[in-house]
Amino acid sequence: MRPRDTRRPVPAPALGRRAFLAGGLAAAGTALAGCGPADTVLSGRQRLRQWNLFTGGDGARMVEMHDAYRKQHPGIDFQPSTFQWGNPYYTKFAMGAAGGRAFDIATLHVSRLRGLGVDTLIAPVPTDLLARHGITRDTVQHSTWDKCTIGGELYAIPLDTHLVVTYFNRDACEKAGVLDADGNLVDTSGEEEFLDVCAAVKEATGKYGVVMDTTHAWRQFWSLYRQLGGEFKLEGELGIDDDKALRALDFLRRISQSGLAPEASDGAATPANFQNGIAGLMISGNWELPTLKDAGMDFGMRAFPDIFGAELGQGDSHCFVLPVRREPDEDAVAAAVEYAAWMLKNSLTWAGGGHTPAYLPVTRSPEYAALEPQSGYRKAAANVQFDPQAWFSGSAAQLQAQASAVFTGVHTGAVTPETALRRFKHAAQKLIDTPAPV
């Protein structure tokens, strides 16, 4: 199905009465943008306003890419804005999109598309225009492109894949005897083989075998649950396979309560524990790569371990989206689409931060193959396990927060897997019963 013309006038977005955006939201969004003159009147250049949520190492790489974009596009008055990651950004995004004048293109997580109002706040991408710049489903990771497609229309342009992977300290793992002839972590299959590796590494470090972020336990849980073939239904009555969920939670209990992993390790402590040699393995997002590289560690990376039959890991994708416009602006849409295509084609720079580019000519290039340790887990991007679809699901959304709050206790031993599952199911059902805000 060919996407409809997103540049024609559309009615103002209609938001639900329970929306956190309710009450003067459109006015707030308009105020954000101001009431300045037309884009090209003063500068003679096409204005392009871009919003993103990248700080830290990701932010530095984004600035580097934007500097290169500016040099190659002197006719574009490029105006990027960076906001705080997570809910602050998504609240501001919704306000700006509702106002209709805040940005021309913005960055989102693919997992948040459905919850942020496709056709209400987010417009379909003109795929014919995108194709003119060489970006089609054939040139992008298929699994990610398909997640950006809703009802046969493309609503986002995927930039990357980021997911939970396995890091290994080569010194500790060599001492433990768990490296292969190429200096990579040995393959494991099943619970016992992985736990045996963790035990050997624990003996080498004298403290722990593996460390993971217990305050974001959803990531490990969803990876394990999906390896077991588990599915969620997040509408009407919650659908979940209790047996598979309990098996995944019991693995988290077992690895922490046996002393192979710390019972408690938050987002900041986890890479620090790995860097300090407290554990020789780390299960975490590939976004920690720059921090460890800057520390001068000798480490490698590979996919999330095969615990229950496959190396599947929870993850997401950063993508670019276009706002629904009250008035058509063909030039702004054309500039936004060309910008997104340029970013995909130049995403080798972005790969330096650990994310796997969605644009296949980059990931299949000799330059990407030479990146270490990025190339060690590039195949995992094809099997990334996105969060289940619901308005309250996805990165920085309520389902992750509710799950992690409960599942953390399984690591510490404060609750049993059975109790944790019961509490999570209650919290998830309350979210299901809450009307969507957009």
Q: What is the pLDDT of residues 37-73, one digit of tens each?
A: 454 555 689 999 999 999 988 999 999 999 999 999 9
Please give the pLDDT value at position 328.
86
Average pLDDT over residues 340-365: 97
- In whole angstroms, what is the distance from residue 233 CA to residue 361 CA? 36
Q: What confidence tens digit (pLDDT) does each residue in 152-174 have? A: 999 999 999 999 999 999 999 99
Which of 156, 198, 166, 181 minimizes the C-alpha distance to 344? 156
Contact 166, 303 (CB under 8 A): yes
Q: What is the pLDDT of residue 7?
A: 37
Task: Round to whole Å and give the CA distance between 112 and 338.
Answer: 23
Domain-wise residue ranges, the chain: 25-158+318-379, 163-315+385-433
What angle is formed at CA 62 by the lines to CA 270 and CA 57, rounded to 5 degrees?
A: 20
Higher pLDDT, 409 or 8: 409
User: Band of the pLDDT at 117, cuts 50, 70, 90?
Assistant: confident
Residue 355 pLDDT > 60: yes
pLDDT at 324 over 60: yes
Contacts of residue 202, defined as CB under 8 A and 6 or more positions apart, other chains included, come to: 208, 209, 259, 260, 279, 280
Band the pLDDT of 24: cuts 50, 70, 90.
very low
Query: What are residue 203's DSSP bridge partners?
Result: none
* Domain 163-315+385-433 in the same topology as domain 25-158+318-379: yes
pTM (two decimals):
0.88
Instruction: Please name the fold of domain 25-158+318-379.
Output: D-Maltodextrin-Binding Protein; domain 2 (3.40.190)
pLDDT in tens, 272-300: 999 999 999 999 999 999 999 999 999 99
Rounded-to-integer distance, Cα 88 and Cα 246, Å: 33
- pLDDT, one tens digit per residue, over 255-273 is 999 999 999 999 899 999 9
Instruction: Classify domain 163-315+385-433 at the CATH topology level.
Output: D-Maltodextrin-Binding Protein; domain 2 (3.40.190)
